[in-house]
Chain A
Amino acid sequence: MIRTLRRRHLACWAVLGPLILALLMLSIWNHRPTLTQDALPRKATQRRGAGPEARP
């Protein structure tokens, strides 16, 4: 039982390891910092607080 689990453990990491690293590499490759979700509410608030002249 233990031997089977050990084999499964090694097989699991042999598959997951390259997948995880590939995912991280892809995310680095595609890294384009844009407007974040965090920034959205703050920017909206800033526009609201800018007064009537700032509105279209």
Chain B
Amino acid sequence: MSTGYRVVQWSRHKRVYDATAAFLIVGFLAAYVLIAKARHTGSSAFSDEVLIIRALGACAFVLLHLILCIGPLARLEPRLLPVLYNRRHLGVMTFLVALAHATLVLGYYHGFGVANPLVSMLSTNISFFSFRAFPFQLLGLGGLLVMLVMAVTSHDFWLKNLSPRTWKSLHMAIYPAYAMLIGHVALGALQSDRGWVSFALTLFGAVTVISLHIAAGLREARFDRQTPSLNDAGSPWIDVGAIEDLPEDRARTVCAGGERIAVFKHKGQVSAVTNVCAHQGGPLGEGKIIDGCITCPWHGWQYRPADGRSPPPFQEKIATYQVRIVAGRVQVDPRALPPGTPTKPASVEPGHA
């Protein structure tokens, strides 16, 4: 969260995260090369260049699986939310590893002819109707191009200027890119692999990613289908629950008309805001109140509960809702007020706080 743009707004958390990720990447590459050297000896030995190419490709592939698992895992298990915080840094690192893999492939397999290496790669193999001889490198190139677009637009500058909706839709292109990269591996490296370990690992990774995304998606869809209980006929107010059931400095989220509302209790006052963070659409209802502000669990963007405005000097605003307490039960009016509209928090009677 900032009033301007910096290339990277470094914090201690980000430095530790990035240093750990870089260390693990280097460790993976070294381990891959050493294990492959030990496994493939004699006539089946690979050259050092090929080993490095394979290690980089495997590393990028594993990283992509991890990145794709972070989102649904954070939805299914809130304790994993801290991993989500720096996912974009991990994404850019994955792109750089994949780029190194592609550059070495171009140089090693296509760099020694008279044709431009890229032209050579695009034109050498055109067996599009053959399963075993399919030009799998093109699938890798397609996936890499999508990752390039995502890495370039990963900064908050693009998020703000493209609008969160467009940005999110654009970044969902990683899903078809993942399918292309599975094709790249399945029709490329796996076809030349004599064992079944790589197949088993790839299948395990794909099943994990697909299952997690579908499980998280179904869970969200089930929540959206919930029908709020109305108070009485014609009343717009919907029941959120007993005041005692609202956790202090946390929220209870309700869904009304397809929109989620986060109802927070803080120091004896109850306020309601939209569940959607203005930054990346993070679930505010899964966040908590820190320093008197609702704090998004994804990237820490903050809003005041009473008016949905970020504390100065920040200028972000989110929609607020009217809330009241009747006979010990919290009720919310599901009609959203314009972003930043001050509302009167409902006060908890002594003995209920």
Could you tell me which A residues sit within 8 Å of B by CB distance?
1-3, 5-10, 12-14, 16-17, 19-21, 23-24, 26-28, 30-34, 36-38, 41-42
Chain A residue nearest to B168 in the complex (CB):
A5
* A-B contacts at CB below 8 angstroms, number: 103
Contact of A5 among B47, B165, B182 (CB under 8 A): B165
- Given A3-B224, A23-B182, A33 and B191 touching (CB < 8 A)? yes
Residue of A nearest to B283 (CB): A2
Question: A14-B214, A23-B186, A24-B186 known; A5 and B192 CB under 8 Å?
Answer: no
Interface-facing stretch out of B199-207, B231-239, B264-272, B306-314: B199-207
Given contacts A28-B199, A30-B132, contact A17 B190 (CB under 8 A): no
In this complex, the interface size class of chain B, counting residues with CB under 8 Å from chain A, is: 35 or more
Q: Tell me the complex Cα distance, A54–B175, Å.
A: 51
- B positions within 8 Å CB-CB of A: 46-47, 50, 109, 131-132, 164-165, 168-169, 172, 175-176, 178-179, 182-183, 186-187, 190-194, 199, 202-203, 206-207, 210, 213-214, 217-218, 220-221, 224, 258-260, 275-276, 281
By Cβ-Cβ distance, the 5 closest A-B pairs, closest first, are: A10-B217, A36-B192, A27-B186, A17-B210, A13-B213
User: Across the interface, which residues of A come within 8 angstroms of B224, CB to CB?
Assistant: 3, 6
List the B residue with the shortest CB-CB distance to A28.
Answer: B199
Inter-chain CA distance A7–B222, complex, in Å, is 11
Dominant secondary structure of chain B at its interface with chain A: helix
A24–B109 contact, CB under 8 A? Answer: no
For the complex, what is the distance from the CA of A14 to the CA of B175, rounded to whole Å?
11
For A28, list chain B residues within 8 Å (CB). Answer: 199, 203
For the complex with contacts A14-B214, A37-B109, 14 further pairs of A-B residues with Cβ separation under 8 Å are A3-B224, A5-B169, A6-B224, A8-B172, A12-B175, A13-B217, A16-B176, A17-B210, A20-B179, A24-B182, A24-B186, A28-B199, A32-B132, A33-B193
Residues of chain B with a CB closer than 8 A to A27's CB:
131, 186-187, 190-191, 199
Q: What residue of chain A has the Cβ atom nearest to residue B175's Cβ? A: A12
Cα–Cα distance between A23 and B47 once the two chains are bound (Å): 29
State A30–B165 Cα separation when bound (angstroms).
Answer: 41
List, in ascending order, chain B residues with CB within 8 A of A33's CB: 191-194
In the complex the two chains form, is A1's CB within 8 Å of B165's CB? yes
| Closest chain B residue to A12, Cβ basis | B175
- Residue on A with the closest CB to B40? A38
> Least Cβ distance of B339 to chain A in Å?
13
User: In the bound complex, what is the Cα–Cα distance between A54 and B167 (angstroms)?
Assistant: 61
In the complex, chain A residues whose CB is within 8 Å of the CB of B207: 21
